[in-house]
Amino acid sequence: MRIEGRGIIDRSTPVGFRFDGHDYVGFAGDTLASALLANGVRLVGRSFKYHRPRGILTAGSEEPNALVEVIEGNSHTPNVRATMQELYPGLAARSQNRFPSLDFDLLAVNDLAAPLLGAGFYYKTFMWPRRFWEGLYEPLIRRAAGLGSLDRQHDGGEYEQAFAFCDLLVIGAGPAGLMAALEAARGGADVILADESAQPGGRLLSETLTVDGRAGGEWAASVLAELQALPNVRIMARTTVTGAYDHGTYAALERVSLHLPPRPNLPRECFWRIVARRAILAAGALERPIAFENNDRPGIMLASAVRTYLNRYGVAPGKRVTVFCNNEDARRTARDLIAAGVTVAAIINSRAHASAVEDCPVYTGATVIDSRGRKGLRQITIRHGGGEAVIETDCLAVSGGWNPQVHLTCHMNGRPLWNQSLAAFVPQPDAVPGLAAAGAAAGIMSTAACLASGQRAAREALEALGRKAPGITLPVAEDAPYAIEPLWQVPHKFRAWLDFANDVTVKDVKLAAQENYSSVEHMKRYTTQGMAPDQGKNSNVAALAVLADSTGRGIAETGTTTFRPPFTPVSIAAMGAGGRGAGFAPQRFLTSHQASVERGAPMIEAGLWYRPSYFPRPGETTWQQSCDREVQMVRNHVGVADVSTLGKIDLQGKDAGRFLDFVYTNTFSTLPVGRVRYGLMLREDGLVLDDGTTARLGEHHYLMTTTTAAAGLVMRHLDFVHQAFCADWDLRFISVTESWSQFAVAGPKARALLASVLDDGPDLPFMGCGPVTVQGVQGRLFRISFSGEEGYELAVPARHGEALFRDLLARAETMGGGPYGMEALNVLRIEKGFITHAEIHGRTTAFDIGMEKMVSAKKDCIGKAASQRPGLNGPEREQLVGLKSLSDGALTAGAHLFVPGDKVERAQDQGYVTSVCHSATLGCSIGLAFLKDGRARHGQTIRVVDHLRGVDLLAEVCDPVFHDKEGVKLRA
C-alpha cells in the first residue's frame, strides 16, 4: 500500500514489471521488494527446507527470504535478493524453490514432517546402504532443499574487473560515512566512498530524523553534492565492499547495470580491487529478529525495514501494524507509522520499564508468543503481565536490537568483542591494519554520535596520511540513548526460527548442544545455521546466544564463528571477468599464422602458441593421410615448418661462454665462432631441465635455443643462476624469441631451396651457422636438423616472417615440397629418436635418455653433483628405448610395459610409453619409451598395456633411433 507524500521514489515515472507471471506497476527508485509490498504481495518465496511460505524480512543485502530468479531473455539469475534488485521497465522475476507454484508447493509436505527433519536428520537417517548416498539420497535431498536453479547455459553477460587506488576508502555512506568522507575530502585526501545502495545516505534515507534542522535525506544529498564536485573524491554507489585483504587491499562488487535492461557492452557487474592507505568501516548495523513461535510468517518484518519501506519507498507493509521490540529505538517505527496515518495495533515491548507515550496500546514487559496466517500474517498472540491476548494484525515489526557490521574487521583473523551494554559484538580495534570502524559499525548508535565518530575516524586517517583536518563544525542531530535488554527467544513449544534462510530453529541449536556439538563452529556445521547466502547475518548472534544458554556459558565465551570474505555473495562471473573463452590466456600467433590458415591447416594450441597441425591437400580425408604425405615429402623432397616458437636467448659478454659452461652439462666456451652445438641443461636436483642448440655468433656473443614449452622456464632459470651465483660476471642476456621468425627447411632438396631464396648462400657444414641476406633482408642461417634429414633453420626479423614463409612455400612446391605441420614434425623426430618434453618430462636424468656422457667430467655445472646421486644411474633406471609394434595395433603414449607372461599389475611395471606415431617411413607403429634397464634389452619382446584405451599388444624393444642411425643424411 502506497502512502502519499512519503518516500524518495519518483512517482512521476511508473515502471511496469512482472513477478511470477503477474504484471505489476511500481515507480522508479523502487526495489523489487518495495514494489511488491506496494502491490500488496506478501508471499514471495518458500523456505529452504520446510518450504514454508515466506515474505520480505529486511530492506537490505542481508535478506534471507525474498530470494528470486531474475529472468533475462532465455537465461536467468538465481538467488537475487528482491530487496537489492532495483526496478527497471520490463523486469521479470519469479519465485524459486517451489513446485508447481509459489501458492501451492507440493514439498510443503516437508513442513508436516518437520518433527522428523530436525538438525542431524540426514546424518542419522541416510546411512545405509552406503552406495545409496551418492546415487539416490543426495540427489533427492538436493532437489527438495534448495535455492534458485542454475541456468545451464553459459553466462553470456558482460562482466568487468578493475583496480582503484586511494588515500582513504570509506565503506558505507550513512551519517558516519558521509561525515568521514566530507572531513577527509576537505582535508585534501584522495577519497573513495563506496555504498551498497543505489542512493548513498544509509539510514538517513530510512528515518524521519533531522540533521542541522534539515531532513536527514536532504543533508545527505547536500554532502553528496559537495563530494561529487570535488576532484579528489570518487563516489561508488551500488558497490559493496566484500573483503579486506593484506596491505590495504579491499575487494568490492559494483552492480553496474543490474538496475537496467541489458545493453550491449555494458557490464552487469564490476569486481574491484581497491588499494587504500587507510579505510573507515562505516557500514552501519543490522537489526536482528527475535525468535518466537511461528516468527517466520509473511508480514513479520524487521522494524527498521518497516521504516525503510515507509520513509524511503512510501510503502506501508501493512494496514494494521504491531511493533515487538526489546529496545527504545524501535518505538520510532510506531511513531512514523502513526504520523503517516497507518494504524498501529500495539507496541509490545519486552522491557518492563519501557516508557509508553505513543498514541497506541503499549504493552511493557510483554512478548509475542505465537502468530497465525499461513501465507500472510493475520494475528498474533501476546503474553503480558495480565495474561494473554490476541491481536489482529497484518504486519509485525520486530526489533531484537542491532548487530554492528563487524564482518570486514574479521577478515584477517580478528575476532569481535562482546559488548554487554549493547548486547552485541563490536569490532576489535586494528584487527585489519589501517581499517577503523566508525558509527553504528563501531557500536555507536545515535545520529549525533555517529557523525562525531565519522569525523573522528577521518581525522585519525588524515593524521596518518600526513594531512591537516579541515575543522568542520559537527551538524546537530538526535542523540537519543539506545536502551536494550537482550531478548533472543521467547519460550515456545514448537518452532521458533533463528536462521530463516536455512530453516534453522531454536530447537535445532539446542539439539546440537544436547548432542555435544557445543562449540559454535560445530553447531554451525551440525545445524547449517549461518551457511546460507546471508551467511547468518540475521541469525548468528541469536543462535550463539541460544547455544550459550544451552551450554551454560556466556556469549563472550561462546564466541562467534569465523567471518570470511565475501561479505555478500559475489558472482564468479565478476571475479573471473574477461577470463571466458579466448580471454582465459593470451593467444600467441606466428607470423605464418594467416598463411597456414589460408591453406586449411587446423591450428592446435602448443602452450599459448597456435601451430598448424597439418596442411590438408585435396582428396585427403584424414589427418593421418596428410601427415604421412608430409613425412614422405620431407624424407624425399623438402619441407618447410615454422619453428619460431622455440625460445631464443641472446647472450653477450666476456663471460658468456663461461656462463654457458655453467648452465649446460657440456662445454660451449670452446665452440668455434660460426658453429652450433647441442646442449643439455640440468636442474639443481640433477634431472633434465631442457635441451636445445646454442650458436656462437661472435667472440662474446651466443644465441641459445630452448624448447617451446620451456622457453620461459629456461629464461627464469638463467636469470636465477646469473643473479644468485654470478651477478658480477661480464654477461647480459635477453629473450629474442619474438624478434625472429625462424623456419625449418628440411629434406634432400633443402640446400637447393635455400640457394634460390638467399642472396648469398654460405656452404655450411653440419652444425654450422652464419649471417645471410634474404632478398635484401639480413638474416641468420643455422644448419641444424630435428627431422633427420639435411636441415636448416633460416631466421629473419619477424616483420619479414610472413613474406618469407609464403615465398619459401611457393618455391618448395615447385620442387615437390611444401609445408609440414606439427604431426609430421613429431613423426620425423620420433623416427630419428629425438626427444621432446614428452621424454624430458621432469623425472628423467641424462643417464635415462642415454646422454650421461654429455655431463662433462672436466668442469662443474648446475645439477652435476646431484645427477650423480645413487639411484639416478644404473640398470634399475627406466631407460630410453624405441618400440616397434609387432602387430597391426597402434602403440599409445601413456601405455605401460610388462614382461609377456607377467601379471599386469603395478608391482610388475617395467616402464611406460612417452611418444608414438605411425611411421610412414617404416610402415608400422613405433614409439619411444622408458624401460627398466632398457638399453640392455634391445631385441626383446615387451607387452604394451593401456587400460584407458583398451590396448594390449606386443612390441619389439629397439634402439630409439629408427631412421638413418649413422646420420649420413644429416651430414650430406
Partner 1 sequence: MPKLIAKSPLSDIWPVTHGALSLSELVLDRVVSVAPFPGQAGAMAKALKPLGLAFPEPNRMHINGEMRIVWTGRDQAFLFNAALDTPAAALTDQSAGWACLRLEGEGAAEALMRLYPIDLRAAAFPHGHAIRAPLNHMNSILMRLEDAFEIMVFRSMARTAWAEIEHAMLHLAARAQM
By CB under 8 A, residue 147 contacts partner 1: no
Site membership for partner 1, residue 572 (CB under 8 A): no
Residue 164 near partner 1 by CB under 8 A = yes
Closer to partner 1 by Cβ: residue 643 or 846: 643
Beta-carbon contacts of residue 124 (< 8 Å; ≥ 6 apart): none
Calculate the alpha carbon distances from 681 to 515, 707, 709, 783, 859 in Å: 62, 11, 14, 21, 14
Question: Does residue number 761 form part of the binding site for partner 1 (CB under 8 A)?
Answer: no
Contact between 215 and partner 1 (CB under 8 A)? no
Helices (H), 402-518: 447-464, 506-514
The three cell numbers locating residue 605: 594450441
Does residue 789 come out as left (phi exceeding 0), alpha (psi in the -120 to 50 range) or beta? beta
Residue whose CB is less far from partner 1, 382 or 649: 649
**Do 23 and 76 contact (CB within 8 A), yes or no?**
no
Asked if residue 310 lies in contact with residue 397, where contact means CB atoms within 8 angstroms, the answer is no
Q: Which stretch binds partner 1 (CB under 8 A): 193-201, 349-357, 583-591, 782-790?
A: 583-591
Based on the shown chain and the rule CB under 8 A, indicate whether residue 305 belongs to the binding site for partner 1. Answer: no
Rounded CA separation 661/704 (Å) = 12
Does residue 160 belong to the site contacting partner 1 (CB under 8 A)?
yes
Single residue of 589, 623, 678, 912 touching partner 1 by CB under 8 A: 589
Cell numbers of 479, please?
A: 542523540
CB of 726 to partner 1, least distance (A): 11
CB of 97 or CB of 707, closer to partner 1: 707
Which amino acid is located at 177 in the chain? G
Contact 680, 691 (CB under 8 A): yes
Phi, psi of 33 (to 5 degrees): -65, -50
User: Is 647 near partner 1 (CB under 8 A)?
Assistant: no
Answer for which of 222, 518, 625, 652 binds partner 1 (CB under 8 A) is: 652
CA distance 168 to 191: 5
Q: CB of residue 732 vs partner 1: minimum separation in angstroms? A: 4
In terms of Cα–Cα distance, which of 633, 636, 616, 612 is closest to 624? 616
734 binds partner 1 (CB under 8 A): yes
552/555 Cα distance (integer angstroms): 10
Q: Which three cell numbers mark 785? A: 636438423
Cα(180)–Cα(441) distance, rounded to whole angstroms?
13
Q: In this chain, which stretch among 94-102, 334-342, 649-657, 786-794 interacts with partner 1, using CB under 8 A? A: 649-657
Q: Which CB, 422 or 754, lies closer to partner 1?
A: 754
> For residues 591-620, which are near partner 1 according to CB under 8 A?
591, 608-609
Q: How big is the site for partner 1, counted in residues (CB under 8 A)?
A: 58
* Cβ-based nearer residue to partner 1, 8 or 275: 275
Which residue of 804, 822, 825, 880 would you call a contact of partner 1, by CB under 8 A? 804
Is the preceding peptide bond at 565 cis, omega within 30 degrees of 0?
A: no
Asked if residue 813 binds partner 1 (CB under 8 A), the reply is no
Using the rule CB under 8 A, is 273 a contact of partner 1? Answer: yes
Closer CB to partner 1, 25 or 266, in the complex: 266
Which CB atom, from 17 or from 271, has the smaller least distance to partner 1?
A: 271
Q: Tell me whether residue 122 or residue 729 sits nearer to partner 1 (CB atom).
A: 729
Closest CA to 401 of 414, 419, 383: 419
Residue choice 22, 131, 263, 493 for contact with partner 1 (CB under 8 A): 263
The whole-angstrom separation of Cα 29 and Cα 284 is 22
Q: How far is the CB of 590 from partner 1 (least distance, A)?
A: 7
Residues paired with 426 in a beta bridge = 417
* For partner 1, the closer CB: 669 or 739: 739
DSSP SS3 for 404: strand
Q: Which of 165, 494, 720, 725 binds partner 1 (CB under 8 A)?
A: 165
Task: Give CA torsion, residues 617, 620, 623, 629, to 10 deg.
Answer: -70
Q: Is 586 in the site for partner 1 (CB under 8 A)?
A: yes
Tell the smallest beta-carbon distance from residue 647 to partner 1 (Å). Answer: 12
Residues counted in the chain:
972
* Cα gap 92→88, rounded to integer Å: 9
Neighbours of 776 (CB within 10 A): 7
For the record, the C-alpha cell of 548 comes out as 550459550
- Considering beta carbons, is residue 124 or 732 the nearer one to partner 1? 732
Give the one residue of 588, 749, 896, 969 binding partner 1; rule: CB under 8 A.
588
753/813 Cα distance (integer angstroms)? 10
Q: Is 810 in the site for partner 1 (CB under 8 A)?
A: no
Report the residue number, 548 or 709, with the smaller CB distance to partner 1.
Answer: 709
The maximal CA–CA distance of the chain, rounded, in angstroms, is 115
| Closest distance to partner 1 from the beta carbon of 667 (Å) | 22
User: Of these, 19, 219, 733, 847, which contacts partner 1 (CB under 8 A)?
Assistant: 733
Among 9, 244, 256, 680, binds partner 1 (CB under 8 A): 256
- Kindly state the smallest distance separating residue 770's Cβ from partner 1, in Å: 17
Among 590, 660, 764, 830, binds partner 1 (CB under 8 A): 590
* Closer residue to partner 1 in complex, CB, 428/652: 652
- Whether 61 contacts 68, CB under 8 Å: no
The enclosing H or E element of 720 equals: helix 711-725
Cα-to-chain-centroid distance, residue 844: 35
Structural contact between residues 349 and 325, judged by C-beta atoms closer than 8 angstroms: yes
Q: Distance from CA of residue 558 to its chain's centroid?
A: 33
Query: Which range touches partner 1 (CB under 8 A), out of 63-71, 106-114, 408-416, 738-746?
Result: 738-746
Using the rule CB under 8 A, give the single segment among 214-222, 691-699, 735-743, 783-791 that binds partner 1.
735-743
Q: Nearer Cβ to partner 1, position 206 or 591?
A: 591
Mask 699-728, x = binds partner 1 (CB under 8 A)?
Answer: -----------------------------x
Can you give the C-alpha Rg of the chain in angstroms?
38
Assess contact for 914 and 893: CB atoms under 8 A.
yes
From the list 90-98, 254-262, 366-374, 548-556, the region that binds partner 1 by CB under 8 A is 254-262
Amino acid at 455: Q
Joined together, the cell numbers standing for residue 709 give 614449452
For residue 158, the minimal CB distance to partner 1 (Å) is: 7
Please say whether the beta carbons of 863 and 907 come within 8 A.
no
Give yes or no for residue 10 binding partner 1 (CB under 8 A). Answer: no
Check binding of 131 to partner 1 (CB under 8 A): no
Number of other CB atoms surrounding residue 811 within 10 Å: 18
For residue 495 the three cell numbers come to: 518452532
What angle separates helix 540-551 from helix 520-527, to the nearest 10 degrees? Answer: 110
| 433, 583, 874, 875: residue in contact with partner 1 (rule CB under 8 A) | 583
Judged by CB under 8 A, does residue 228 bind partner 1? Answer: no
Report the nearest approach of partner 1 to the CB of residue 935 (Å): 40
Would you say 88 or 425 has its CB closer to partner 1?
A: 88
Cell of 293: 513461535
Is 800 a binding residue for partner 1 by CB under 8 A? The answer is yes
Report the alpha-carbon distance of residue 939 to residue 900 in Å, rounded: 14
Residue 158 interacts with partner 1 (CB under 8 A)? yes
Binding residue (CB under 8 A) for partner 1 from 188, 600, 653, 770: 653
**Residue (566 or 797) nearer to partner 1, CB:** 797
Do you find a cis peptide bond into 100, omega within 30 degrees of 0? yes
578 contributes a contact to partner 1 by CB under 8 A: yes
**Binding residues for partner 1 (CB under 8 A):** 158, 160-165, 256-257, 260, 263-267, 273, 275, 578, 582-583, 585-591, 608-609, 650, 652-653, 728-734, 736-740, 759, 774-777, 796-800, 802-804, 807
